[in-house]
Amino acid sequence: MPQSTSASFDPRVLRFRELHASGCFVMPNPWDPGSARALAQLGFPALATTSAGFAWSQARPDTGVDLETVLAHLSAIAGAVDVPVNADFEGGFAVAPDGVAAHVTRACATGVAGLSIEDSTGDSATPLFDRVLAIERVRAAREAIDATGAGVVLTARSEGFIAGRPDLHETIARLTAFVAAGADCVYAPGLREHPQIAEVVQAVAPTPVNLLVNGPFVTVAEAAALGVRRISVGGALARVAWAAVLGAAAELAGPGTFVALGSGTPGVELNRRFGGA
């Protein structure tokens, strides 16, 4: 990661960059200001938005939310907490590098401390952008961030393992190329096998690696031992929340009982957590 620590950077950007320098930290993914505030209160040093979690809250599928809505969401999340926020910026809401650059510039103005750019197309026939184009998109994002002077951390994602192209050799080739194009951190969601995780970490070292953990296949201690620097959970917390809501609602709609409602967090506790009387 570039070592600049300009005094002009937002303190949260500086803190986020420091977190990537050593150790391993967990960065959970809220989907609205309330969940962001609650997670920050639990002591997490940074948070990340989730495109899926936010989309579901808007009655949309993942990647089904437009750029303007996402930019407003990023501002809302970053404005709700004092800790650094990393933006799930999907594919930059553009295909061409110049479009990615223009949108990244706008994202940097929302108050986020980092953002990620993916190489997935959304087309099942050709799920990943051509490697050369994918690299140029990352380079464009890097140049856009540098032009803002904001110091925002750039994460480059290769989506093969969740887009039907689970090729470790190709994933590593892309991630190393993204590092050369200016990525501060790299991320290959869908990796679950410990030897594969370690191989990715070693291939891109010393560039930090983000690991997506959306199930019980690793612990924080094990991820740290593999060399992972950052752990996020994507839409997993949102799915847990939806499971609770849908389960309780199904009880109401089915047998007409209310047992699940008894397990809710007391309103007085939530009011106290969010600043109420």
Over residues 12-34, the pLDDT tens digits come to 999 999 999 999 999 999 999 99
Residue 8: what pLDDT? 80
* Percent of the chain with pLDDT strictly greater than 90: 96
Mean residue pLDDT across the chain: 96
**Confidence (pLDDT) at 214:** 96
In a domain, 275, yes or no: yes
Q: Are residues 42 and 156 in the same domain?
A: yes
Per-residue pLDDT tens digits for 50-96: 999 999 999 999 999 999 999 999 999 999 999 999 999 999 999 99
State the Cα–Cα distance between residues 158 and 128, nearest whole angstrom: 8
Domain with residue 151: its CATH number is: 3.20.20.60
* pLDDT tens profile 102-148: 999 999 999 999 999 999 999 999 999 999 999 999 999 999 999 99
179 plus 230 within the same structural domain:
yes
Q: Is 219 exposed, middle or buried (0-12, 13-18, 19+ CB in 10 A)?
A: exposed
Task: State how far the Cα of 18 lies from the Cα of 5, in Å rounded to an integer.
Answer: 9
> In the chain, how many domains are there?
2
pTM, whole model, 2 decimals? 0.95
Rounded to an integer, what distance in angstroms lies between the CA atom of residue 234 and that of residue 211? 10
Q: Which domain holds residue 31?
A: 11-234
Instruction: Say if residue 244's pLDDT is above 70.
Output: yes
Same structural domain for residues 261 and 244? yes
Evaluate whether residue 4 is within a structural domain. Answer: no
Asked if the bond preceding 127 is cis, omega within 30° of 0, the reply is no
C-alpha R_g of the chain = 19
